[in-house]
A and B are shown apart, each in its own frame.
Chain A
Amino acid sequence: QLSLFRFTVKRPFSTSYSSVDSKEMKKFQLLAHKWWDEEGEYAALHAMNDIRVPFIRDTLLSMSSNYHPGNPLSGIKILDVGCGGGLLSEPLGRLGASVTGIDPVEDNIRTADRHKSFDPVLDKRIQYKSSSLEEIVEESMETFDVIVASEVVEHVADLETFIKCCSQVLKPEGSLFITTINKTQLSYVLGIVVAEKIMGIVPEGTHEWEKFVPPEELERLLESNGFSVRTVNGMLYNPLSGSWGWMESTSLNYAVHAVKSGAQARSHTTDAPPETDIQQHSATAGTAG
């Protein structure tokens, strides 16, 4: 009965809305004012910053030779797709990046705008826009160095269209970071039954198991749309400690880093590098006199 409301009509991706699911929008509208309560409905997303921000930061640092002390992401233009209340945009902004956050739910953008307005530095570095990805493609061709789509692809109606749009607004050799949930029996039991219905880690109804994306399918779609997948890593939430960690298995949550091919097409293997790389990068917080 749920599919009656689904907006899955395929249209050319340069006109609007084909990757935005209006039923999904409604779910998030109801919680628009709850984004910034660290102990509330979005607590697990706040906690996820502790691994997804270092992952993005360290990957980008390892790919560039400039380092600005205090602003490691200085000079980098990032698009945060499905930014919600700005939970991920703000840390990226604090690290020096110029961030554009887009979200189809206007209330989310309003919340995000208000929250960043109190910090003059963030106010300048982050711009929010109520929009879908398709709507900004025309004016933003090859504009961004990085796209982050965290906890978003499991909510879009048409994943391939979404990926094509990402490729269009990304500069050649730009990076795409995705975090999402695998479609497995385990993710149904833990991700829906336990997380939503039993423990209330995620508000009930947030996720639909049907829309979860297995990493193999995501990799296939990325590779066939001009991306080369560099990293796939499993993530695990510990509800007792309220914190996230990396794990070998991608059977629950996972993160992907992919790079848009440059001018010449290149072929890459898609082996996931060992987890130890990630841990080494994020182990240090330096103090230098």
Chain B
Amino acid sequence: SSAAMAALRGWALLAPLGARLRAGPRAPLRSAASAPPLYDVVVSGGGMVGSAMAAVLGHDIHFHDKKIALLEAGPRKEYDHVPDSYSNRVSSISPGSATLLRSCGAWDHVCNLRLKPFRRMQVWDACSEAMIVFEKDDLDDMGYIVENDVIMSALTKQLDAVADRVEVFYRSRAVGYTWPLPSHSCDASPWVQVELADGCRLQTKLLIGADGHNSVVRKEAEIKNIAHQYDQSAVVATLHLSEATDNNVAWQRFLPTGPIALLPLSDTASSLVWSTSHDHASELLAMDEESFVDSINSAFWSNKNHSDLIDTAGAMFRSAISLLKPSGTAVRQLPPSVAKVDPESRAMFPLGMGHATEYVQHRVALIGDAAHRVHPLAGQGVNLGFGDIACLAHHLSATAFNGSDLGSLKHLLKFETERQRHNVSLIAATDVLKRLYSTTLAPLVLLRTWGLQATNALPPVKVRI
């Protein structure tokens, strides 16, 4: 009855952990014989993060005899040979993410398909000469630019390799979730019930929500989400450079309207990610190809946003630094110029930020964009998701090796604490950077100019980033 439910919810709010033991619609009583199939883990959402989660668990030694299901609304995505043209959706993969993909055998496939390592990142301000360069001293790769389709194809292959443990349901959308009552009432099923669009039902000991920033799992679990729509959209495209070059630098310039980034795909091609106002984004999509290319080159090369005040102040600061620390200012490289854009490759999507107040509840965990959504300016989005996977898989592996209940909140909280500690500061910093760089007001420009120059000159801070 609803009064009983309300009372139960009220009680649940009082105890700090009790608040996590949701009193949702009561799971129907079933005899063991007619019960829907029971999985140890169900991952809802078969994008890069959901697929990687299933693949990593499937390759974990302590999950050798467990049953995992992956639910993906779309069709199976795989190809043996990359198409000639590049996809316009690419990701910057950090070395840590590469390690995770290597651990489940997917990185080899990525290397065999297509990827571009980069050695250097140059980030600078349109309103001043301030610049920061990220570079690894030891000639290792800083990161890799990989098409999302390539990552998906690699993960699909590795899911096939553990098909005896991981069952993938393509073209399957979950339409309803039923949460178990707190564990000490032992009449009803203790598992999460999942209902698919085609009427099939599954039960699971742990539901992992990897269903993106509009996560249904998160909504159904009634987890509060702090979300904010930026007044920006990102325009993506595949570009061809004027001349072939080593192209192992990732470029990002902060314009007043938003950051524009050029990510290397090959010696002659780069991927564009241009975050700008919705109106400007629509204009960019609508204009002819020549004007589009001109806008991009102008964005990277023009100095029209400089003011004498800022330039002078910036120059003074730079010479001050070079007195204190002779090697503190790096050589400024010039970004490549763009010759043409791949037809049909222009697209735009709106940007926002989001952070779930909880990553876990009894028998539920959120990973990837379902838990946190960031602005692409930091190139972090999917890497945060892969970091979530590494952490959650580590804790689930230990839990399995201890014979404990995979959905137990006590163990899931360890994952939440570790990841929130890592993610919150990065998401907040990204948000602050986005706002800081969205202005031409002199004091703020000076602040960020000096900040950027100082950061560039100070090795310890740079390494931490």
A residues adjacent to B (C-beta < 8 A): 33-40, 46, 49-50, 53-54, 57, 68-72, 90-96, 111, 114-115, 117-120, 123, 285-289
Contact = CB atoms under 8 A, between A and B. Distances in A.
A287 B60 contact: yes
B60 A120 contact: no
> What 5 pairs between A and B have smallest CB-CB spacing?
A70-B64, A91-B403, A37-B184, A285-B398, A70-B65
A49 B402 contact: yes
Contacts of B190: 115, 118
A49 B404 contact: yes
A115 B186 contact: yes
Given A36-B184, A39-B18, A287 B403 contact: no
Contacts of A114: 186
Contacts of A286: 61-62, 397, 401
Contacts of A54: 402
A38 B104 CA distance: 34
A40 B241 CA distance: 65
B66 A289 contact: no
A69 B61 CA distance: 6
Contacts of B182: 37
A39 B15 CA distance: 10
Interface string B217-254: 00000000000000000000000000000000000000
B68 to A, nearest CB: 12
B108 to A, nearest CB: 11
Which of A70, A92, A288 is the most central at the interface, judged by chain B CB atoms within 10 Å of its CB?
A70
Contacts of B77: none
Interface string B53-66: 00010011111111
A69 B402 contact: no
A53 B105 contact: no
B319 interface: no
A34 B185 CA distance: 9
B62 A118 contact: no
A285 B403 contact: no
A288 B64 CA distance: 10
A90 B398 contact: no
A168 to B, nearest CB: 27
Interface string B168-203: 000000000000001110100111000000000000
B38 interface: yes
A289 B403 contact: no
Contact of A287 (B65, B103, B186, B410): B103
A119 B64 CA distance: 17
A289 B104 contact: yes
Nearest to B189: A118
Contacts of A120: 32, 38
A54 B184 CA distance: 25
> Which bracket fits the contact residues of B?
35 or more
Nearest to B397: A285
B402 A53 contact: yes
Contacts of A35: 184
A111 to B, nearest CB: 7
Contacts of B394: 285, 287
12 contacts: A34-B184, A38-B183, A50-B402, A118-B189, A118-B191, A119-B38, A285-B62, A285-B398, A287-B394, A288-B59, A289-B104, A289-B105
Nearest to B203: A118
B215 interface: no
B401 A285 contact: yes
B17 interface: yes
B32 A91 contact: no
A93 B403 contact: yes
Contacts of B186: 33, 36, 111, 114-115
Contacts of B56: 287
B115 interface: no
Given A92-B403, A111-B186, A285-B397, A38 B62 contact: no
B449 to A, nearest CB: 45
B190 to A, nearest CB: 5
Contacts of A118: 32, 38, 189-191
Given A38-B408, A70-B66, A114-B186, A123 B32 contact: yes
A72 B32 CA distance: 27
B64 A71 contact: yes
A36 B181 CA distance: 12
A104 to B, nearest CB: 21
A221 to B, nearest CB: 29
Contacts of A38: 183, 408-410
Given A40-B184, A69-B64, A111-B186, A287 B402 contact: no
Interface string B10-42: 000001011000000000000010000010000
B348 interface: no
Contacts of B401: 57, 72, 285-286
A19 B206 CA distance: 41
Interface core residue of A33, A40, A69, A117 (most chain B CB under 10 Å): A69
A50 B341 CA distance: 58
A38 B105 CA distance: 37
B278 to A, nearest CB: 44
A33, A38, A72 — most chain B CB neighbours (10 Å): A38
A20 to B, nearest CB: 25
A90 B404 CA distance: 8
Contacts of A287: 56, 59-62, 103, 393-394, 397
Given A114-B186, A289-B104, A70 B62 contact: yes
B184 A33 contact: yes
Interface string B271-301: 0000000000000000000000000000000
A285 B396 CA distance: 9
A69 B66 CA distance: 11
